[in-house]
Structure 1
Amino acid sequence: MRFFWSAGAALLVVAVASGCTSSQPVTGRFTAVIPLPSSSAPSTAATPLPADLPADLSVEIEQERSDYGIRQLQVRVANGGATPYAVTNVTFGSPNFVVPVGNTEPGRVLPALSLDFPVLLPAPVCSGDRSASPIVTFDWSAGAETGRSTVVPADPLGAMKRINGEDCLAESVAGIVDIAPAAHLRVDGSGAASVAHIDLSLTPTGGAGSVVIDGVGPTTLLAPAGGALSWPLALAVDAASAPSSLTLDVEPGRCEPHVIAEDKRGTYLPLTVTVQPAGVSGTYYLPLGDAEKAEVYSWLADHCGFGASP
């Protein structure tokens, strides 16, 4: 059971199964909502704009780990009242992205529940004034009442700042160097004695500036062979650099079947980088390709001795 804060009036949200009975279909993921004392409320709350938000409803945005790779955001509409609400035409917009995006799938937000409306994020905006708040707009109906509400959603986990920071760091890195994993995993040995090798190529684009790759961190699935805490690199790349390559020698991060079964980010390599002359540092996440990802799973199954990969 996973607990997390919902938007608005201090709601603790508890994940529940989708076996609720209703004469109307329920779409998306939904969660039980338990009111808490106002003193326990998070500091960030949804803010109604000119179109009023019904008092029963609150809105927040969140990105779960399974959303990262596909660049998806969850718009969560919570119903703290006693009346079901039909919600549709959910639109999300932010100065951090080039265009608004939407989800036209209708959903029924039952009393004391919340419902997630996923939207796929467009390309980022990394220049100009991006200080304006994100906006969520949606149509709703409850009994004979209907309306269209526009709201600044709560962002209790700071998703907007994190996503824009990662997006713009990745854009800066890609403008200077193309970092690409090999198409396939290399493996020496077999079983528990095997060591995997992830090959990366670094090709300068000719763009201005430089990128220093300080190192690569471990993931839930992948760790440096030999027990080191990370792969230190200290590589600097700019327009004058020649194309190069490097190899990460890998052992399993954890030999537990559920770690692979529940994997969300285990094949995203976290590179610690600094981009100059801006002096911006952060983590650049490099995903392995589909074929190499599948080979990682197979190698882990063989190395750890728990049979076929998922």
Structure 2
Amino acid sequence: MSIAVAVVLLVTAACGNGQSIDRGPLPDGVAIHVDQSRIERKGREVFLRVHNDAGRSITVTSFTLTSPRFATVRWSGTETIGPTFETDLEFDMPRGRCGSALDARLQLTYRMGSGDLRTSTVDVEDPYGNAAYVVDRDCAQETLEKAATVTVGTPTVAARDGGPVLSLPITLAPTGDVAGVRLTGFASTTLFRQAGPTRLDVRLDPGDPPTTVQMSVVPARCDPHALAEDKVGTLFGVEVSGPGLPENASYFLPLTRAQRAALFGFFRDRCGMT
């Protein structure tokens, strides 16, 4: 038997056993990227978007996603995407590690039309930086919490020029374990804007004393529909600088249900919705 015939028989046998064939790059017209929906920002659900402009259907049966920034993701199922359509394959992002680029690599198993299973291994882009933001957020939180114990106190409302302002006391007690970490500010949200300083420089080096800062906010808008449909209005960014952190790194201030309820109650009162 010739070598060429033997190779053909082996490939045919593999197809007959339902095994995939490594076919290199994705077919022309199939594009994939990783992203996160805005309404999922408070969680960890992200997705792999598969866009099919190849002229025939593509059926995805599994994928493996790897990156130096998070543990390997494995997905399996059956998703068929017709020509000119796209589908999101959702998964929970593993806890992120500190680092630089996402450098995600995808191994996709699929079939085109009624063809044989095949596998392609490609780099996968994060065009809007949303997947990287999830792991950067993990890194910022881990870095700050290594440097200091963070305690969020009870919200209070007090009158200032222009009307009532809600303040949250945030105490940071350095652990003595890490040097060079700073709390550098707080970010506004879709519902609330910062009414106090947004740029800070709170040192959290070993030997530094505990520091309490006030995050003060007022409604950014008085829109009943915005409040009713809100998903991210109490996700206040805590901005952190330190060794190994990307520029403008931040994570979401951890709030209890009672603290969030106080924020929503203040919003309604200040906007005359009660």
Fold agreement, TM-score > 0.5 = yes
Q: How does 1:134-283 map to 2 (within 5 A)?
A: 134-145=104-115, 146-159=117-130, 162-182=133-153, 184-188=154-158, 193-225=163-195, 230-275=197-242, 281-283=247-249
Q: Distance in 2 between matches of 1:132 and 1:75?
A: 14
Q: 1:284 to 1:180 in 2, by over 3 A?
A: farther
What's the % identity of the aligned pairs? 25
Shift of the 274–155 alpha-carbon distance from structure 1 to 2, 3 Å rule, reads closer
Contact 1:275 1:281 in 2 (8 A): no
Indicate how the Cα distance of structure 1 residues 244 and 158 shifts in structure 2: closer, same or farther if over 3 A, else same: closer
Residues 183 and 241 of structure 2 are in contact (CA less than 8 Å); yes or no, is this contact kept in structure 1? Answer: yes
Deviates more, 1:156-165 or 1:214-223: 156-165
Higher-Rg structure is 2
SS of residue in 2 equivalent to 1:282: coil
2:27 aligns with: 54
Deviation of the 1:50 alpha carbon: 5.8
Match of 2:51 in 1: 78
Structure 1 residue ranges without an equivalent (≥5): 1-48
SS of structure 1 residue aligned to 2:126: coil
Q: Report the alpha carbon displacement of residue 165 of structure 1 after superposing the two structures with TM.
A: 4.1
TM-score norm. by structure 2 comes to 0.76
- The structure with the largest helix share of the pair is 2
- Give the Cα separation in 1 of the matches to 2:101 and 2:164: 50
- Contact kept, 8 Å, 1:198 with 1:249, in 2: the verdict is yes
Cα deviation, residue 62, structure 1: 1.6
- Deviation at 1:279? 8.7
Give the TM-score normalised by structure 1.
Answer: 0.68
Structure 1 ranges of 4+ moved more than 6 A:
none
What amino acid sits opposite 1:65 in the alignment?
A: R
How many residues matched? Answer: 249
Amino acid in the other structure paired with 1:300: F
CA-based RMSD of the aligned residues comes to: 3.0
Verify: 1:298 aligned to 2:265, yes or no: yes
Which residue identity is paired with 1:172?
T
Residues 100-151 of structure 1 show CA distances to partners (whole Å, capped at 9, x for unaligned) of 1133343221221111112211122336xx7783112233234421223322
Cα distance in 1 for partners of 2:177, 2:139 equals 15
Task: Determine the structure 2 residue equivalent to 1:42.
Answer: none
Conserved? CA contact 1:141–1:147, under 8 Å: yes
Aligned partner of residue 47 in structure 2, secondary structure? strand
Task: Report the equivalent of 1:122.
Answer: 94
